[in-house]
Amino acid sequence: MEKEKNYYTQELVDSAIEELEERLKEEEIDSSAQEDEIIAEIADNNIPIYTYDLLQYASNNFDLLQPTDLAGEYPNVDKIIQANIYEILTEELYNAICEIIDNEKENEKE
């Protein structure tokens, strides 16, 4: 049974970071380009696609309604929300991967 959504972006971030951690266990990252590719893929996978879900996230996170260049030249509301979610996810995933790599380096020193 699927858990009930709370429609806060932290829920999406947590899911994306969990997916990142699983990927890092399965794969070794050899370059920053590969890191970028994995983060973009995970962020894309965690963006809601249904209008209802997008509007629910926006109703709980008004920042998602701010226009952004990622949404394109003439975006609709769905694209604006999705672009803002993408920006949040990629930023949080980069922070998470840096933290994971730093923790690994610390563990190697010990």
Specify if 4 maps to a domain: no
Specify if 3 maps to a domain: no
Specify if 2 maps to a domain: no
* CATH number of the domain encompassing residue 47: 1.20.120.780
Range of the domain at 77: 9-109
pTM given for the model: 0.88
Tens-of-pLDDT digits for all 110 residues of the chain? 566 788 999 999 999 999 999 998 888 877 788 899 999 999 999 999 999 999 999 999 999 999 888 877 888 999 999 999 999 999 999 999 989 878 877 777 76
Q: How far apart are CA 58 and CA 53, in angstroms?
A: 9
Q: Which residues contact 85 (CB under 8 A, 6 or more apart)?
A: 9, 12, 46, 47, 48, 57, 64
Specify if 1 maps to a domain: no
Specify if 13 maps to a domain: yes
